[in-house]
Amino acid sequence: MQHEKATVIHELASQELLDGLISRSLDMPWEKVRDELKAIRGIGEKTADVFCMIYLNAPVLPIDVHVKRVSQRLELTKANDYEGIQADLHKLVPEGKRKATHFSMIRFGREVCKARGPRCRECPLNSVCPWYSSNAKSQADLP
């Protein structure tokens, strides 16, 4: 999968289409830029949202594996698909806080709320975490 992404990124780097879109993106609504990006082979929702969030300051919260895991463990969403998770988080997170929330959730998911070996004992949210209450607490090595 990573080799396929690298190939697509390499192809995109030489495409005039992408160059033109980037230069025009400042004069377009971010939603239109997002749609045009998604129409390019190899660019999906997350990549388009990350581009729009970072380069256009779009009020969007991209969903990656860490954001998804943290959101589901904390029961901020019951959805399992990109659009559903994003819609639920957009209801909870004000537009001006979405970029910071995105980066914070990624860091939290990498460092504390890991997929394997989550650090529940050290987690500042374990007292309010439904996942911890029903899963991690039952493990012998956790309080």
Contact 61, 27 (CB under 8 A): no
pLDDT digits (tens, 9 = 90+) for 70-97: 999 999 999 999 999 999 999 999 999 9
Contact 99, 55 (CB under 8 A): no
Cα atoms in the Cβ-side hemisphere of radius 13 Å centred on 96 = 0
Largest CA distance in the chain: 57
- pLDDT band, residue 98 (cuts 50/70/90): very high
pTM strictly above 0.85: no
Q: Which residue has the higher pLDDT, 138 or 93?
A: 93
CB-based burial label for 53 (10 Å; 0-12, 13-18, 19+): buried
Strand, coil or helix: 62:
coil
pLDDT digits (tens, 9 = 90+) for 11-69: 655 565 566 666 676 778 999 999 988 988 888 999 999 989 988 899 999 999 999 99
Per-residue pLDDT, 4: 66
In this structure, what token pair is assigned to residue 6?
A: 């690298």
Can you state the angle between helices 45-56 and 98-111, rounded to 10 degrees? Answer: 120
